[in-house]
Structure 1
């Protein structure tokens, strides 16, 4: 099925100009040339302002993911690839969850998706406009859309698994994902890929490539493009609402991955003006059209579709950004001054559906409205090395200032999309929901790093931020590393951090139809999601949001007994106070219904965001890499990764007296348990790569640990068994240019446990698999790729 969104955004002129004259890229990681059989030593730029800091010297755990690893699976989605490569990343695949089908959230260390900061070339990436408000992992978050960044543009990724709010500001509670773009005027690559699931659906065709151009004698421009067509998958079960009627059955439903059509271009460039000055910039523009299915509406409900109908939520997510600036050196100081603009717009259309209250006069196409998020930043960073007589190395002093402006906007849909019961599948945004809100904040930071002796190093950071909407906050961090000998070292960090409530969490509002299980029956209820400062939320006991406060502690061991083997073990604890959560769906009493109806809000349930929970996350990460070189046979690379993660709720704020008096609970059992047991407790992976001449083979076995989908009734909780998955791939180089690859993801065709029918949690048999499943529920996937490089 092909579809066309009602509104097609046009990129602003500033981006068109940027594609011609964009400039620059911060320093990226480099590999020192290893001896035969040795593992390379990698220079990192994340979490440090010192020059030439290597992974083996890092005081915090950092994962380096190169372009080869990013291309090692059949997926072209960045979040999916990270979920397979990193044991600490969880990326489930929601279905039937409105906007979350199109913009799926990823978790680091089991925390909220918006508690991980995403950078591109060291610059803050803007977040998505979509708020995850349905019953999925990441409920209540509005994180960065990782899948808006194409793999073709990425040189490598640095993942800092440590709190870094004192260095980078808000959101860096769980860690930092820094995406480093390809650079340079020479070389290029192009790739055509095909794939299909064993069920003969989900066909995928992708085309991607990158190339470089010289800009005169002193500059370069790098262009990356990517396009893909991905058909939907369907793992729906038989519809059991009326088993005797042949019009009911699996053929009517669609439960699985949506249909998606992403198109993206990324530009990265740099010009050297003189020996002490560079001008840089990078930019992107992309649009992803998605068609996701709601639940089949039964026959006899509409005269337009007498046999029933399947509403389709056709969205268009438009993503654009521009970062440009100057950097150089003066008086011994390295400096970087930059401008950063990012925007995401999410527009939603409904097709093949009706507004039941309009009967035969209902349209079958509805524009449901839009969400838009914009951020603009100005940054100034300076750094310098100072010799200290008592130290074995220089003291690196880094100072910086940042000014950020954010805006969040909701646009109303067509009247027919929200009048009465609204369009089936998703009721549109109403004029009362629409509006634009903004804020600004300013920050200052200081960072100190030094090699105090040949074996001992340390760093300290301090950052102060002032927000226009909730006040000021200060974060601090201290880190240290001690080399016991040339093979063993220990490291430790302690930090405080914060995450500012997003504008989406403060102002997102909509009235829509949700389904709740009442007496064993999925019952539609008009549910209002209210801005915390609104009169409706006040009626339900809401108070203004404040920043989340975090404390991070970690202790790690690094071991490198030989030049071809290294291992790290890092234990951590993350305490988050005043954690922001979307409240339970509160089915209102008659008294509260009348109070809201008097405001023109006739709903049967309500919810809003609240700082009501304190959590503690404890765990351990293990990463080990071994290279075995056999001169006559080839080379083997083994990578083992393991994450054990436990989340607990330490405190739940007292229930507002108003809610208690009406028999309601602000934070219910399902809300707290979703945070604690909804993601796998542990995850293990072992990757083996074999290289011999032009041939390469890769096998990765992953064990996704047990998880629980909680309910308010404990007897309805379902614990899902661990799942073992095997991914296989093989490639061959044909000469210096061509490379052919074939592979099988989930070669053993493993599916997660099926959802129990108790309490109708499988939606009358339609939804046989849980949207919490960390590896999805599509089964075996075959793919082939042909690449050409120059």
Structure 2
């Protein structure tokens, strides 16, 4: 009598929603959500906490970037702002449940997506990690996003320690939409235009192709303060140059970078028979971005005054190309449903540096440089099988098993020679200023493979009790193997109240970026006396480097996690629902990018660095054990206002806190522990993300008008500076929009983000770099652009 809800879904993929007849004859939609192979009516039916965010909810935020819109729709997901952080200005790190960006697995249509080639090297949250670039997926192509807030390595493999984000692509076989948004900040900058086109095509009675095209252009914002420093050389008589009076002292760029982003995505499926189908999806995107580095004054030793008599602002202008394609075949053999798929994805990050110079080459130096390219690729082959067996108490046991093969590759291509060489002009600094090029010694072209085997069981034993179990074995070519498992259960205490609980182990293999990234580049440290930023050549040395071997840095190994979660689900009368979930995630051997150890601090280090251009060295290493605890609360309520329409309300709150249990550093560097992992890095891991965040939203529908009002809360957070640590106050932001359905096809939306022009707390006056950095450069949870207003036109047919 306790039959499964629908026929088995294929492996871990997301099935196309199907209609079913409810007991009262209503047509409702069952959806296959990430984390379970049994189709559900709503997310609250899930045995684990899942957020389902529809395309309409993403669009209602008025935000034009997928990752940023997700932050305002799901408080457990954070997308902090950063500026003057090299490549991270173009691909910002994001995280789930306050953990590292690479602790979240991203799927598209239930299939693993490749990561960005970029490694976050500057002072952002998730320093030393790489993450999936969600902004490479056009919002126009998205049907919904599912966020599994639970560990799932036993289901999906590496990276799923904090949870899983699954992007489901649009799949309609007819009709489409054309949308345009224009807007700008209250300050009059940050102008942007986004145009999206979606079209569904029926290619047969049982087949479709859905295509989405998006173009997005955004101008930069700038909230830099005025540079009070002397800019020009003192005159022979000791007086200041008259140009000091007319110089534009907003010489830095602190804010959003400008960019042009173009994306094309397609999703397709064709039935071969009643029991088989082929499917395919993928896309390509290209982004060109420009952001500023530190300004070089006319009197700066890194300037050639004949080339830049007024100084210059180096600009980092990467070109990012992202490609993905997956093909699959779904069929039945006897009682078994088989899913075979092959997917390939790649991401390239080409560094270009403009409006700069290699001062060591003198006045003849180029002023634009190609500084090198990072490339990441991933090939995934999967074969999954699932079926149902009769089980105890007239229920059915879902059994799924499968094998996966993945090959991951990483490549660094050197820049042009002038971008990194040290010339002999007047002893000036070498390399392109703003971002030094990758040298020939930095070039790598490496790959690794892994094979995974899993088995999963799910059973709705009674109307009240559900349980699931999974175990997965993975073997990697470079560090060994791992076995992870998961147990979960749900019990309906009443028709309205249910209890759910999960425990699991997980792992994250060191990424190919962490294994093979290497570079010697210029970093700026503040002088302890003057406060001026002093350039130093710092080397990041990979697992193949003889420097690593000489200093006895251990080989990287997998991070290991053990998670627990328990929650309550309430489905009340009159449209009220609530979920409350508490969790704890213990992670051992977390990988960090260490601080730099200086050649002057140790003879061993000096000897190891001899013959390189580096003055200091840093490494990726398993060094920290952490514990993350948190609570997620989600509540929704519907109100019928009769002749005044209806109102939907929702409240979402997230608490997350990470503590460091132990720090384990190599003994060969005794006495340098504070340099390898200092207080700044500790703050970045434990206090840089707001512990408390949430939002309250209201959607009022009346005739042809839909009004959205959202209050978002971002709790206190801390930024570590070289001389101090500063805790920044909690802030609320308010978003308001009204949509008018002018015709059946045409909708017009007017909206404001950050209605009351809220900014984060300013940096202390003794820590704002001569007044230039008004706000924290990193980790501000909602940025410092202030208010933004926009107009959105959408034509649906």
Normalising by the smaller structure, the TM-score range is over 0.9
* Corresponding residue number in structure 2 for 1:398: 400
SS at match of 1:270: strand
1:539 positional shift: 3.4
**In 1, Cα distance between the equivalents of 2:481 and 2:666?**
27
For the Cα contact (< 8 Å) 2:32–2:38, is it kept in 1?
A: no
Query: Does 2:652 align with 1:641?
Result: yes
Q: Does residue 1:767 correspond to 2:767, yes or no?
A: no
Bigger drift between 189-198 and 520-529 goes to: 520-529
Partner of 2:115: 127
Q: Which residue of 2 aligns with 1:156?
A: 144
Tell me how far apart the structure 1 counterparts of residues 46 and 27 of structure 2 sit (CA, whole Å).
Answer: 16
Task: Look up the match of 1:684.
Answer: 694
Alignment pair present for 1:79 and 2:72: no
Report the secondary structure of 1:753's partner residue: coil
2:607 aligns to what? 595
State the SS of the aligned residue for 2:780: coil
Equivalent residue for 2:211, pick from 197, 211, 223:
223
Whether the aligned pair in 2 keeps the contact of 1:725 and 1:747 (CA below 8 Å) is yes
**1:342 Cα deviation from its structure 2 partner:** 0.3
CA 1:310/1:208 → structure 2, altered by over 3 Å: closer, same or farther?
Answer: same
Distance 2:129 2:392 in 1: 49
User: Is 1:341 matched with 2:344?
Assistant: yes
2:785 paired residue number: 778
Unaligned runs of 5+ in 2: 1-12, 232-239, 423-429
**Gap change, CA 1:620 and 1:66, over 3 Å in 2:** same
Structure 1 segment 203-218 matched on structure 2, within 5 A: 203-218=191-206
Query: Quick check: 1:242–1:248 contact (8 Å CA) kept in 2?
Result: no
TM-score with structure 1 length normalisation? 0.93
Whether the aligned pair in 1 keeps the contact of 2:225 and 2:250 (CA below 8 Å) is: no
What is the Cα deviation at residue 548 of structure 1? 0.2
Shift of 1:284: 0.2
Distance in 1 (CA, whole Å) between partners of 2:229 and 2:444 is 40
- Paired with 1:263 and 1:593, the residues of 2 have a C-alpha distance of 46
Contact 1:49/1:383 (CA < 8 Å) preserved in 2? no
> Is 1:466 matched up with 2:468?
no
Q: CA deviation at 1:580?
A: 0.5
Give the secondary structure class of the aligned counterpart of 1:215.
strand
SS of residue paired to 2:204: coil
- Report the equivalent of 1:518: 527
Aligned to 2:103: 115
Q: Which residue of 2 aligns with 1:380?
A: 383
Q: Distance in 2 between matches of 1:399 and 1:663?
A: 45
In structure 2, the partner of 1:293 is: 292
| CA drift at 1:213 | 0.9
Does the 8 A contact of 1:593 with 1:603 survive in 2? no
Match for residue 9 of structure 2?
A: none
- Name the counterpart of 1:737: 745
Q: CA deviation at 1:435?
A: 1.3
Q: Aligned partners of 1:663 and 1:486: how far apart in 2?
A: 56
User: Cα deviation per residue 1:451-476 (whole Å; 9 max; x = unaligned)?
Assistant: 11111110000000000000010000
Q: CA deviation at 1:661?
A: 5.2
- In structure 2, relative to structure 1, the CA distance for the partners of 1:560 and 1:625 (3 Å cut) is same
> What secondary structure sits across from 2:418 in the alignment?
helix
* Cα pair 2:543 2:555 within 8 Å, conserved: yes
TM-score norm. by structure 2 comes to 0.93
Query: Would the alpha carbon gap of residues 30 and 63 (structure 1) be closer, same or farther in structure 2, given more than 3 Å must change?
Result: farther
Output aligned runs, 1:464-543, within 5 Å. 464-519=473-528, 520-543=531-554
3-state SS of 2:309 partner: coil
Q: Is the 8 A contact 2:358 2:433 kept in 1?
A: yes
How do 1:358-437 and structure 2 match up within 5 A? 358-391=361-394, 393-420=395-422, 421-437=430-446
Q: In the alignment, what sits opposite 1:443?
A: 452
The unaligned stretches of length 5 or more in structure 1 are 1-24
Q: Do the aligned residues in 1 keep the contact of 2:599 with 2:609 (CA within 8 Å)?
A: no
Aligned to 1:13: none
Cα distance, 1:44 vs. partner? 3.0
Residue in 1 that maps onto 2:624: 613
Q: Contact 1:75–1:81 (CA<8 Å) still a contact in 2?
A: yes
C-alpha deviation, 1:26, in angstroms: 4.6
- Which string of whole-angstrom CA distances, capped at 9 and with x for unpartnered residues, describes residues 714-742 of structure 1? xx110000011001111001111100001
CA 1:783–1:164 in 2, change beyond 3 Å: closer, same or farther? same
| 173, 180, 201: which one aligns with 1:192 | 180
Alignment equivalent of 1:650, drawn from 646, 661, 667: 661
Could you tell me which of 685, 694, 706 is aligned with 2:716? 706
Q: Is the 8 A contact 2:327 2:341 kept in 1?
A: yes
Contact 2:387 2:398 in 1 (8 A): yes
Q: Give, in whole Å, the separation in 2 of the partners of 1:272 and 1:750.
A: 52
Picking from 216, 224, 233, the partner of 1:236 is 224
Deviation at 1:249, TM superposition (A): 4.9
Note closer, same or farther for the CA distance 1:76–1:374 as it changes in structure 2 (3 Å cut). Answer: same
Separation of aligned partners in 2, 1:250 and 1:457: 65
> Match of 1:11?
none
- Compared with structure 1, are the counterparts of its residues 246 and 44 closer, same or farther at alpha carbon in structure 2 (3 Å cutoff)? farther
Question: 1:202 matched to which residue of 2?
Answer: 190
